Amino acid sequence: MKLSIKVAAIVFYLFIISNVAKAQTKIGYVYFSAILDVMPERAKLAKDLQAYQKTFVDRLQVMQAEYQKKVDVYQKTRTTMTDAVRIQSESELTDMQKRIQDYSTQAQQQSDAKQNELAKPLLGKIKLAIDAVAKLKGYTYIIDATTQVLIVMPAADNITAAVKLKLGIVAPGTGTKK
């Protein structure tokens, strides 16, 4: 009997502790992309990235124009070529096509790296604002609702507007862009 009372007391104690722990965990959510989309710095980031990508696009267009010229010449003279010249021309065209593809892949990788580099300060600024709002409102966890599938999302736990306000990108009380 004494043992069962001790076990019951331990179970009751664990139940109370788990409920207290649950009460201390507060989860909120934010629509990160909704904040990012209205950040004033976003336009400059897009402009800078577009300027960076233009050098790649221009070079790629030159390469493709050269390739197309060689293809046109090859198609016009293919029937009069010797087998050795035809094979060499086809090999050159294949090499050019591979260089264009490699350049395109490299350009995409460099553009992605540049985008990450340019976005890092902006994303950091948003993250700091989210951290500040979460701390102010007592949230333990904040989930990005843009990328997560949530079934239940209480409006009171949505801190998107508070983060926008913290960043100064909406008028207080209106939820609209300044």
Query: For residues 178 and 169, is the Cβ–Cβ distance under 8 A?
Result: yes
Query: For residues 89 and 74, is the Cβ–Cβ distance under 8 A?
Result: yes
User: Is 1 domain-assigned?
Assistant: no
Q: What is the mean pLDDT of residues 37-62?
A: 94
Integer Cα distance of 112 and 107 in angstroms: 9
Number of domains in the chain: 1
User: Is 138 domain-assigned?
Assistant: yes
User: Is 6 domain-assigned?
Assistant: no
User: Is 177 domain-assigned?
Assistant: no
Integer Cα distance of 124 and 130 in angstroms: 10
Which structural domain, as residue segments, surrounds residue 160?
A: 24-167
User: Is 16 domain-assigned?
Assistant: no
DSSP states of 9-21: HHHHHHHHHHHHH
The pLDDT value given to residue 23: 54
How confident is the model over 80-139, as pLDDT tens digits?
Answer: 999 999 999 999 999 999 999 999 999 999 999 999 999 999 999 998 998 899 889 888
User: Is 19 domain-assigned?
Assistant: no
pLDDT at 52 over 80: yes
pLDDT at 164 over 60: yes
User: Is 8 domain-assigned?
Assistant: no
CATH number at residue 63: 3.30.910
pTM: predicted TM-score of the whole model, two decimal places:
0.64
User: Is 176 domain-assigned?
Assistant: no
